[in-house]
Amino acid sequence: MLGVLGALAGRGGGIVRLAFVAGASAPGFLLGLGFIYVFYLKLGWLPASGASSVADPPRGPTRVVFLDGLIAGRTDVATDALKHFVLPAVALALLPAVAIGRVLRSSLIEVYRSDYIRTANAKGLEPRTILWRHGLRNALSAPLTMTGLQLGLLLGGVVVIESVFAWPGIGLYTDQSIGSGDLAAITGVTLVVGAGYVLVNVLVDLTQAVADPRIRL
């Protein structure tokens, strides 16, 4: 969204560019600590650690507190799990999202200089139609490539973010496995993460072919 707003704002998008710079400059662990300070210590809106504050969360088949809460009909557990999920998710996804947004902004600016965009403007098409039907689809190739590359940063940041928020996920499990020298666990996590990275990049290539027919040719 910031990428689209930055491209449409042009030179007047100073606030958007400032958000890009600020988001790209802050490391994930610093964002996590800042979120804990603001939203937990100062405002008290969101919890700071763990996956749930409920004393007796249901133990369902998925082993995911939110999904098990929904399956068991415990809306209080599901709501509490979502609150615990917000801060780690935002701290983890912000840096990759900013990087993808910057690439999308540059691609959209380049596309909007094309002859077919000027022709669409001359024909009197609505800006929304030009953006979604002519501009965004032709600008997706580079952002999709960046999405695949940013997955590696996302997977690497899981270890740090889950350690900061004490979130019981694959990152915290990897950190504990390294500390205890559990080679089998480290090997298993590496294989799963590597397979996921390859799968996501395959999906990125397929999505690029759908978005840009020139790639299929």
Are the beta carbons of 32 and 91 closer than 8 angstroms? yes
Provide the pLDDT confidence category of residue 2 given band limits of 50, 70 and 90: low
Distance of alpha carbon 216 from alpha carbon 187, whole angstroms: 37
pLDDT digits (tens, 9 = 90+) for 163-175: 888 888 887 888 7
Distance of alpha carbon 69 from alpha carbon 76, whole angstroms: 8
Distance of alpha carbon 70 from alpha carbon 82, whole angstroms: 11
pLDDT digits (tens, 9 = 90+) for 188-213: 888 888 888 888 888 888 887 777 76
More confident position, 23 or 157: 157
Residue 160, classified by CB atoms within 10 Å of its CB into exposed (0-12), middle (13-18) or buried (19+), is middle
pLDDT digits (tens, 9 = 90+) for 62-96: 777 778 788 877 888 888 888 888 888 888 888 88
Please state which of the four CATH numbers 1.10.3470, 3.30.70, 1.10.3720, 1.10.10 is assigned to the domain occupying 2-216.
1.10.3720
Distance of alpha carbon 164 from alpha carbon 34, whole angstroms: 11
Distance of alpha carbon 162 from alpha carbon 89, whole angstroms: 10
Residue ranges of domains in the chain: 2-216
Distance of alpha carbon 163 from alpha carbon 35, whole angstroms: 14
pTM of the model: 0.71
* Both tokens assigned to 1: 């969204």
pLDDT digits (tens, 9 = 90+) for 90-120: 888 888 888 888 888 888 888 888 877 888 8
Are the beta carbons of 62 and 194 closer than 8 angstroms? no
